[in-house]
Amino acid sequence: MRLATLRLDRGTAAVRVDTDTATVINGFADLSDLLADPEWEALARAASGDRIPLAGADYAPVVPRPGKIVCVGLNYATHIREMGRDLPQHPTLFAKFADALTGPYDDVIVPGYAAGELDWEAELAFVIGRRAYQVAEAEAAEYIAGYSVMNDYTMRDYQYRTLQWDQGKNFEKTSGFGPVLVTDYTPDTRITAALDGELMQEANTADLVFGPEALVEYISHIVTLRPGDVIITGTTGGVGHARKPPRHIRDGETVEVTIEGIGSVRNTTVVR
């Protein structure tokens, strides 16, 4: 099943995405709202609200109001090696704020003072569907609602001003998220990032050092994960910062992140 949050004339709505149309899940303004209901999956399957043509649909961030966004750094072996690091024994975690999210096809507006070292990061994200605290890895799949695509724009000059990465990962509305939440996806497909059509990153989502179940176990032993929380699993090799010479995103260029079996996020950069 595929779910999304669409922008409509009257606001936003949680929808089930069918072949050519989306069916409104009545009573829920977005997927953040829907996932808070313990019966969210049955409600989505039984939805019978208005049908919205998908052609030209305006997608909001798939989960627009997560209580927590936990990011994982250095989680693909190729990326770890290109950054000159050893494989980690434990996940590297940092936070992203909900204000950093934007729609999967929205322009990303970047302030001129932050546009010097813009970089792309293709990432698989997953969303929590049940309250999870001290969950074992063997049971963790039961707590995952589904998977989506994240286009994690990174301001490298801000990121490396200090040892803490958050400041380079949280610029307002710079992380394209969506377009859909796929409830039956299994990580083992191609993930890519392209800059104006030129392939920059390519890997398989099964190649994570710490997979989704391991991340649920690790994070849930630190803090309670709640329905609608988002975990972003890290990026693969091929980022611009590690290239020789470095390559950065310029004004007007489009980053497209694609995960086979889920979909694509396309964001055009606008520097102001």
pLDDT at site 84: 78
What digits encode the pLDDT tens for the residues 162-215? Answer: 888 888 899 999 999 999 999 999 999 999 999 999 999 999 999 999 999 999
For residue 81, give the nearest of 238, 203, 269 by alpha carbon.
Answer: 238
Mean pLDDT calculated for residue range 201-230: 97
pLDDT at site 87: 81
Amino acid letter, 89: Q
CB-count burial class (<10 Å; 0-12, 13-18, 19+) for 92: middle
User: Of all residues in the chain, what percent carry a pLDDT higher than 90?
Assistant: 88
Please tell me which of 112-116, 157-161, 251-255 the model is most confident about, judged by mean pLDDT.
251-255
Mean pLDDT calculated for residue range 245-254: 96
Residue 32, C-beta contacts closer than 8 angstroms, at least 6 positions apart = 5, 63, 64, 65, 66, 228
| CATH top class, domain 69-271 | alpha beta
Task: Domain ranges for the chain, please list them.
Answer: 2-53, 69-271
For residue 124, give the nearest of 217, 197, 186, 168 by alpha carbon.
Answer: 186
